[in-house]
Each structure stands twice: as C-alpha cells, then as structure tokens.
Chains A and B, each alone.
Chain A
Amino acid sequence: MSNAADREEIVRKFLGSKVFDFGAFGKFVAENGTSIASASDGEFGFVIGHRFIRYCIPPQVSVIQELDPAVMRGEVTGGR
C-alpha cells in the first residue's frame, strides 16, 4: 500500500469482484458460533479461536463505582 490511489483501488476491486458469498459466510459464522467475532469493546487486541492475546499498557484494573472522584483527584493532583 504505497499511496491513496492503491488503497482506494483495493476497495474498488473487492466491491467490483462481487465474489464474496455472504450466504456462505453467514453459514460459517452460524456454524462456528460467536467465538470467531470479538464483540468486546474492552480489548484492542486480536482473537485466535477462543484465546485473547492481551497486551496491557497500562494494566487493566477492576471497575469500582464507590470511589469519590474528588478523593482520586486529590490523590493524583495533590489538590482538593
């Protein structure tokens, strides 16, 4: 992919080919379940089968709602 024209051409070529069999793909998805899709919004990484390969920068932390935002703000910035 060296320039914009090439990139658009790739799209145009795919759409123009009309070879994608949506029915067959839908059947494939139905037979293989949702494991092939990554519906989670919490991940950037990819999925191979059922396994997530995760790289955490910065680390994931558990979610809590009880913490007073002002407390957190005070701890981080030193102000209240």
Chain B
Amino acid sequence: MQNPHDHKAALDRLLSHASAPHQAEFRQNLLQRLHLALRIAGRTVQFLGTDGFDGSDHPDGNFAAEKPLAETAMLLYTAGRHAADPALREVFDAAMDDLAPHARSQRMRWDVVRYPSVCLQLATPHILLGALGRGDARFDALLAESATSSVSGSHEVVPYRELELMWLEALWRNEAPRPGFAEVARKTALGRAIDLLNGTREDAYAHTHAAMYYTDFGNRQGNLPRPAHEFLDESAAVLARALVIEDYDLAAEALMAWPLLSTSWSPAAAFGFRVIASLEDKVGFLPAGRSASSQLLRLDGHDRTKCALATSYHTAYVMGMLCAVALKPGMASPYATTGPAYSMSLVGDLRARIPAGSAHWEQVFAALRPDEQAALAPFLLDVALMQSSRKGDAVQMARLLQMALTHGLADTTLCAQAAGLLTRMGALVAPDR
C-alpha cells in the first residue's frame, strides 16, 4: 500500500482533476480506503470480538461482542466482491480468519440455542461468512433448530428490521428472498418518505438501512416501491443534515444509497463523498464526529485501545462499506461534482442564508471551483431549508421555497414537506372562526 503522503498526493490529484478523473486512479483510491477499514476490522475483532465493550461513561456506549462481530461480517460481505484484488487479498483473508472463530464460538452457539427469537441476528457473522464461501454445517444445524422453534418469530420488529431478517434468511438458505419481501419494503423508507425536517435519528437510520438490505448491499436490483430519484432526493437531505451536524457515520450511510441503487452520483452526493474522504485523510480514519471520548485521557494500554476502537470502528467500517459498493462496475468516480449548473447568484444567495460555522463541509465547499459550486444549489437549498426550519424561521422557509420554485428546484420531498409544515403552522395561528 502507499504511504499516507502518497495517498494524500493521489487524492489531491483526484480533486484537482475532478471533472475528468482517471478511472484506474479513483478505483485505487477507493481500494486503499477499503484496505484501511479492513485493517481496522482486524483490530476491532482482536480487541472487541470476545467481550464487546463495557467501559463507556455513556450507557448507550456499551455493547456486546455480537455487535462488532456482525458489523465486521457486513464489512467483509460488501468487500467480498473485491477480495481477489491484489490490493486487498491479504488483508481480506486475514480479517476473515480473525472473524471465523468468534462467529462460531461456543458462546455464539450457546446464544443461538438460547435465544431463538433473535437467532438470525446473532448468527449474522456465521451467515455472511457462509455466503462468502466459509460455511459450517454444524453451526447451520444448530441455527436450523432455533430458527424452526415455536418461539423463533416471537420478537416483534419494525419493517426495516423485518427486511434485514428476510435478507439474512435468504442468504442463509441461498435462496431468493421469500414472498412478501417487496411488500415489507413498501412499509419502509423505500416506500414512503421519512420526515426530513423533524424526524428522528432512528428514522434516518431506517432510511439508510432499508436500501442496504433490499438491494443485498448492491447485489440485487429489484424494483423499488417508488421511483429511485424520490428516495435519493431524501438521501440527499439526510446527507445534508448529517454534514451540518458533523455526523459522519450517518453521512457515509446516506451516501451508500447511490451505489446501492446503481445510480450515478448526484453533485450533492459527490460533494458529500469529498467531504468525508478529505476528513478521513486528515484524521487517518473517518471519525464519527468532531468529538472524542474524554475517557481516552484517563486510560492507557489495552483499555485505551479498546475505548478508541469502541467509539470509532463503526464509522470507519461504514466508510469501507461505502467504498466497497462505490467500486461496483458501472459506478463513476465519486469525486466528480458534475451536474446542471445553476447561476452563481443563486448559489451565493443560498450560501448567504446559511449561518457560517466551522463544519468541515464549509471548508470543502469554499475550496471548490465555481463550476462545481454552481452544481450544488440543490444541496445548499436542502441545508438552508433544514436550518431555517429548525429555528422556526417561517419567513426564511417561505422565501427559500419561492426561490426553489423560481429556479426549478422545488420538486423534492424536502420542499414539499417544508410547504406542508408551513401550512400546518399557518393553521396553528389562524384565528378562530
């Protein structure tokens, strides 16, 4: 692999020739990023694969080993289609070797037998290793006992989790997803938009995850319940919000929607990719956000490594998965910000309506060429609308909608939801009749 300076130089070359990137060069860049994620996976399994993590100051920061093991398996599953590449073969095989004994440990066998209602989730590493050619008949037999037990379907789940279970079961049985898969998809964000202005973080994850399972991480191109561009408009809004609040975990997940649906990168998506790629190069891995756990200062040795990995591995994995699906045949360079050029006066006006801050996207945007900035009016509109909505600034929202209509940008879910919110606000303050 190249050293970090070579890596940065390669990225600089990519960014400076964004309008005409060299096909082989961007693929090499993505492979290097995937390599990094697989290297971090090896350390994650080593340090967190046996006991998980229980040293967090925050209750939600603790987790059992099953979580990183399942997520490691998902990273390997997405990376699997590139496993034969000489740049990845060694690190991929090493990560597979690291994961396998944990995936089928005595503890894991015990859990699968004891908790049949969640046995498929628990067996995620086993199932995905099997899909990658490393099956285990004895574990399969145990899983079959649990999966057919009288209480195996007793744990209720929300639709996108149901989609996940159906996806896992199909992989395990090496069959197409059972009937009803498309019907369940209709109940997820694939079939109906989440609330982009006032939805929850869980809603945003429901949006990003539904596409992963429905497409088998980009391997399956089934019919979506509605036009892909509608779903991608919403992915762009989730991405914009994630970049504003510097939630790079969510940003990278939102970005996966384009390659998962085998759709060309939109200017906003390409911009989002640049933001997180440049951050990964700056920090050395993609951080979850701006913060780091204060616990790290109090710890040393093995405990500090565990804590650092526990708070960082997930986002690093998502970046690796994003690069893996972005390497699908037919996908263009994610560094090329090309699209319809809007007037610079519109771009300047929209940018001026967004309060200046210190988020990384602002620095990257400022460094873009004018023609690249001109393609990002839809992104700026999304940011401005969401910012004004969160401040309860109805006047600004209405002005932005008028601008959107004037410039042909109003045909998005976010604009419609903003108009809907304003209509409801109007009803709230309307005089009694």
A residues apposed to B, CB below 8 Å: 1-8, 10-15, 17, 19-22, 24-29, 34, 36-47, 53-64, 66-67, 69-73, 75-79
Chain B positions within 8 Å of A67 at CB level = 292, 296-297
Given A1-B193, A76-B312: A64 and B294 within 8 A (CB)? yes
B73-81, B302-310, B325-333, B360-368: which lies at the interface:
B302-310
Other than the given A11-B404, A64-B292, 16 more pairs (CB < 8 A) read A11-B405, A15-B398, A25-B428, A29-B392, A43-B245, A58-B311, A60-B291, A63-B294, A67-B296, A72-B284, A73-B283, A75-B304, A76-B284, A77-B36, A77-B43, A77-B285
Chain B positions within 8 Å of A64 at CB level = 291-294, 296-297
Chain B positions within 8 Å of A24 at CB level = 429-431
Cα separation A78 to B230 with both chains bound (whole Å): 41
Chain A positions within 8 Å of B395 at CB level = 22, 26
Chain B positions within 8 Å of A21 at CB level = 426, 429-430
B114-122, B261-269, B416-424: which lies at the interface:
B416-424
Contact of B241 among A8, A44, A55, A66 (CB under 8 A): A44
Smallest CB separation, B34 vs chain A (Å): 14
Cα separation A59 to B63 with both chains bound (whole Å): 11
Q: Is B390 in contact with chain A by the CB < 8 A criterion?
A: yes
Q: Is the CB of B426 within 8 A of A25?
A: yes
Please provide the 8 A-B residue pairs with the shortest distance between their CB atoms, ordered closest to farther: A73-B284, A37-B392, A75-B308, A4-B411, A14-B419, A7-B416, A24-B429, A46-B198
Nearest to A40 among chain B residues (CB) is B390
Q: Is B55 in contact with chain A by the CB < 8 A criterion?
A: no
Cα separation A12 to B415 with both chains bound (whole Å): 10
Q: Is the CB of B401 within 8 A of A53?
A: no
Cα separation A48 to B152 with both chains bound (whole Å): 37
Chain A positions within 8 Å of B413 at CB level = 1, 7
B105-113, B130-138, B199-207, B339-347: which lies at the interface:
B199-207
Chain B positions within 8 Å of A79 at CB level = 284
Most buried by B among A29, A41, A47: A41
Nearest to B198 among chain A residues (CB) is A46
Q: How large is the interface on B (under 10, 10 to 19, 20 to 34, 35 or more residues)?
A: 35 or more
Q: Is the CB of A61 within 8 A of B291?
A: yes
Chain B contact residues: helix, strand, loop or mixed:
helix
**Contact residues, B382-433 vs A (CB, 8 A):** 390-395, 398, 401-402, 404-405, 410-413, 415-416, 418-420, 422-423, 425-426, 428-431
Q: Is the CB of B39 within 8 A of A78?
A: yes
B residues apposed to A, CB below 8 Å: 36, 39-40, 42-43, 56-58, 60-61, 193, 195, 198-202, 204-205, 226-227, 229-230, 241-242, 244-245, 247, 249-250, 283-285, 288, 290-297, 304-305, 308-309, 311-316, 357, 390-395, 398, 401-402, 404-405, 410-413, 415-416, 418-420, 422-423, 425-426, 428-431
Contact of A56 among B60, B391, B411, B412 (CB under 8 A): B60
Smallest CB separation, A8 vs chain B (Å): 4
Given A27-B429, A58-B314: A8 and B411 within 8 A (CB)? yes
Chain A positions within 8 Å of B419 at CB level = 10-11, 13-15
Q: Is the CB of A69 within 8 A of B416?
A: no
Smallest CB separation, B386 vs chain A (Å): 10
Given A20-B394, A76-B312: A61 and B404 within 8 A (CB)? no
Q: Is the CB of B297 within 8 A of A77?
A: no
Q: Is the CB of B292 within 8 A of A61?
A: yes
Chain A positions within 8 Å of B250 at CB level = 44
Cα separation A8 to B426 with both chains bound (whole Å): 19
Nearest to B408 among chain A residues (CB) is A8
